[in-house]
Amino acid sequence: MSTPAATPFPRAPWSLRGSAMISVWRVPLDALPVAAANGARLVSLGRQALCATVWARYEPGGTLAYNELLFAVAVQSFGIVAPACTVGPIWVDDEAAAAGGRTLWGIPKRMGVFQAGSSDGPSPGFADGAMASITVDGRRVATLQYEPPSRLQVPVRLPIWTVQDGDSGPIRTRCMLRGRMSRGAGRWFFEPDGPLSFLAGREPLASARLESLSARFGL
């Protein structure tokens, strides 16, 4: 198997489509495994950092089709007025997506194995009541149970930046997300001995499901 660095990947920008489950968390600073990239500082509430987990399914028809789970911390960076984050642990099940994320934007994407119901690949949405899980190097990392969202859907258009460490300084990347958002989307379960163990037993501040997602990365 080729390494992500040697894998061909599409040029930026990437246009992706699909759906995502998003939760916002407060994590104590002393439990946080991710530091803000150089040139940025953490957004904190007292001694707790504001963070997010995102479980996304990108469907065929976009630049790439793959599954993704990420953890990110909210940051502030000089000259950026839109929401911004530094991405920490992140896994995908497509080598081109992993290679492109690392090379183009400094996002440390690794390979993982995603399982969702009877489907073994990206699907056009999250089935209510179904379970999805991810394993890395043969060990389970997290499980997500989809719950029926609120019937109220709100159109969203959200610019967001990623700020990552690069060999020559911070790599700042602009992205644009569009879709329909509804509150109340899923229940998370994190393995107590896994790379996201610092979230085990915690409850998110809020969760949402983003449907009809159109995402542009690297604008």
Please give the CATH number for the structural domain made up of 15-112+148-217.
2.40.400.10
Who contacts 204 (Cβ-Cβ below 8 Å, separation ≥6)? 23, 24, 25, 53, 188
Please report the pLDDT score of residue 118 as a whole number: 40
Of the pLDDT bands very low, low, confident and very high (cuts 50, 70, 90), residue 126 is low
- Domain extents for the chain? 15-112+148-217
Q: Of 116-130, 137-151, 163-177, where does mean pLDDT reach its minimum?
A: 116-130
Beta carbons within 10 angstroms of residue 31's beta carbon:
12
Rounded Cα–Cα distance for residues 96 and 143 (Å): 24
The residue among 156, 171, 166 whose CA lies nearest residue 217 is 171
Query: What's the predicted TM-score (pTM) here?
Result: 0.90
Rounded Cα–Cα distance for residues 206 and 57 (Å): 20
Residue 6 has pLDDT above 90, yes or no: no
Q: Are 114 and 92 in contact (CB under 8 A)?
A: no
For the chain, give the mean pLDDT: 89
Of the pLDDT bands very low, low, confident and very high (cuts 50, 70, 90), residue 185 is low
Please report the pLDDT score of residue 129 as a whole number: 57
Please report the pLDDT score of residue 121 as a whole number: 41
Residue 206 has pLDDT above 50, yes or no: yes
**H or E segment to which residue 104 belongs:** helix 95-105
Residue 130 has pLDDT above 90, yes or no: no
145 versus 156: which is more confidently predicted?
A: 156
Please report the pLDDT score of residue 65 as a whole number: 97
* Structure-token match 């389970």, residue found: 140
Q: For residue 6, give both structure tokens.
A: 């040697």
The residue among 77, 63, 115, 125 whose CA lies nearest residue 93 is 115
Residue 120 has pLDDT above 50, yes or no: no
Q: Are strands 84-92 and 109-111 parallel, antiparallel or unpaired?
A: parallel
Beta carbons within 10 angstroms of residue 86's beta carbon:
24
Q: With pLDDT > 90 as the criterion, what percentage of the chain qualifies?
A: 74
Please report the pLDDT score of residue 21 as a whole number: 92
Instruction: Give me the mean pLDDT over the 136-153 stretch.
Output: 87
Residue 124 has pLDDT above 50, yes or no: no
Q: Are strands 84-92 and 154-166 parallel, antiparallel or unpaired?
A: parallel
Of the pLDDT bands very low, low, confident and very high (cuts 50, 70, 90), residue 119 is very low
Please report the pLDDT score of residue 117 as a whole number: 56
Please report the pLDDT score of residue 219 as a whole number: 83
139-156 per-residue burial string, b: 16 or more CB within 10 A, e: under 16: ebbbbbbbbebeeebeee
